[in-house]
Structure 1
Amino acid sequence: MGLKEQITDDMKAAMRAKDTSRLGAIRLLTAAMKQKEVDERIELDDKLILGIIEKMIKQRKDSISQFEAGGRQDLADIEKAELTVLSAYMPAALSEDEIRKEVAAAVAETGAAGPQDMGKVMAVLKSKLTGRADMTAVSGMVKTALSGKA
């Protein structure tokens, strides 16, 4: 079963269970998926769906920090609930050691010689690690790896 079908089934289950908070989060996700399909006139595969979910998770994290800074814990709690639902669709995260191995492999694969080659390395890693690692952390690791080679 693809991710799209799983999301649809989960939405139906949330409707039957009258789980309004979960249903709301899943509806936001399906709306974002449909928007991308319509805008780009494509059929989404699991990789593209994971990209959408990752973007939504990042938005939720940013919102939570803003709401908490503004003293709006009620809104932060809503965002946290949505974050929990969205995170359930992400594949298991890689450990820091696994990410380092992927970074080293990508540096070797691209023949990167220094910081100017960061774009090439990140392009390779983005396709492999999307949804499985925080790309900001990966970027820092790539920067460190390339600085050592320079």
Structure 2
Amino acid sequence: MELEQLRKDMVAAMKAKDKARKDSISSLVSAVKKAAIDEGCRDDIPAELVDRVILKELKSVKEQIDTCPDTRADLKAEYQARYDVISEYAPALMSEEQVRRYITEKFSEIVATKNKGQIMKAVMAELKGKADGKVINQVVGELCK
């Protein structure tokens, strides 16, 4: 995802007077800009950084939904609406089968050692932002048995 696309969608939401959507996209744009400044690339923001920030924000909103008390239905609905908007921009993550195939093909030598820590260290750096960490951990655990 490119930052410019997020900006265009934010402008479209403003023109459509869709405040909830505009606020959600605006928070994404702000988070991407902050991450870019932190990483020293604010003038040329790579799509990989945008995707990583989107996934982080998605996870954060999911936690808000999960921890919100049932008595606060209004707040929960607001979080859910934000989650729905952010999930539209989230990159597709690799499935469990794709992760298994990728690890066995690319890291066959390390997998042969059955050293879970060593495998995770190598694999997590490669798959960060491409696959869910829980799925990676589960696949590596199965490969080490």
Alignment length (residue pairs): 140
Q: Which letter does structure 2 place at the counterpart of 1:134? A: D
1:66 to partner: Cα distance? 0.5
Match of 2:131 in 1: 133
AA at the equivalent of 2:51: L
Q: CA separation in 2, counterparts of 1:39 and 1:94?
A: 27
Which amino acid letter does the alignment assign opposite residue 140 of structure 1?
Q
Tell whether 2:87 aligns with 1:87: yes
Consecutive unaligned residues in structure 2, runs of 5 or more: none
Considering only aligned residues, what root-mean-square deviation do their CA atoms show, in Å?
A: 1.8
Q: Report the alpha carbon displacement of residue 144 of structure 1 after superposing the two structures with TM.
A: 2.0
Alignment TM-score, normalising by the size of structure 2:
0.85
1-side partners of 2:85 and 2:11: how far apart?
14
Distance between the aligned counterparts of 1:23 and 1:8, measured in 2? 10
Q: Which runs of 4+ in 1 moved over 6 A?
A: none
Report what 1:54 is aligned to. Answer: 55
Q: Shift of the alpha carbon at 1:34?
A: 1.5
1:93-136 Cα offsets, whole Å, 9 max, x none, are 4333222212322431x52312131211222222xxx2x43222
Identity %: 31
Q: TM-score, normalised by structure 1?
A: 0.83
Query: Would you say the 8 A contact 1:64–1:79 is kept in 2?
Result: yes
Amino acid at match of 1:54: L
**Partners in 2 of 1:28 and 1:116 — Cα distance?**
36
Distance 1:133 1:119 in 2: 15
**What are the residue-to-residue correspondences of 1:1-150 with 2, within 5 Å?**
3-42=2-41, 43-68=44-69, 71-108=71-108, 111-112=110-111, 113=113, 114-117=115-118, 118-126=120-128, 130=129, 132-145=130-143, 147-148=144-145
Q: Secondary structure at the match of 2:64?
A: helix
For structure 1, list consecutive stretches of 5 or more residues without a partner in the other structure.
Answer: none
Name which of structure 1's ranges 21-30 and 78-87 shifts more when overlaid on structure 2.
78-87
